[in-house]
Amino acid sequence: MSGAADPPLARADAPAWERLEHAARGAAAAVGEWRRRAVEAEQEVQRLRTELEQLTSLGPLPSDEAGDELRRLRAENAVLTSRAAEARQRVSGLLARLSVLENRP
């Protein structure tokens, strides 16, 4: 083709392509946000693990208060680990959907 003018069918499909591109940009932005949140959650989990290891390496706990803190940290660690796993699953799902959008003819 000469490239001087778009074929009439291409112009008719332009709104559909624009919607698809908009959806792909939105999906990419969502993936980026989920990825950022997953990284933050992983960092928080690592921080809590380190803190937990420091507490447990102290030997016997000096008081009931420290035991309560240890239980609280373990519970918080479990919640954050779960959130990080959920975020990983969501990011994987978004990446799969984005891949489908990119591979559409």
Taking only the tens place, the pLDDT of each residue in 33-67 is: 999 999 999 999 999 989 888 877 766 656 777 77
Predicted local confidence at residue 8, as pLDDT? 54
CA distance 1 to 21: 24
- Token digits of residue 25: 């940009």
Q: What is the pLDDT of residues 9-35, one digit of tens each?
A: 567 788 888 988 998 899 999 999 999
Domain definitions of the chain by residue range:
14-103
Q: Is the pLDDT of residue 70 over 60?
A: yes
* pTM confidence score: 0.47
Q: Give, to the nearest 10 degrees, the angle between helix 8-56 and helix 64-103.
A: 160
CA–CA gap between residue 52 and residue 70 (Å, rounded): 7
- From 38, 36, 35, 31, select the one nearest 95 (Cα to Cα): 31
* pLDDT at residue 7 in the model: 57
Sequence-distant (6+) residues with CB within 8 A of 90 are: 34
The stretch 90-105 carries a mean pLDDT of: 84
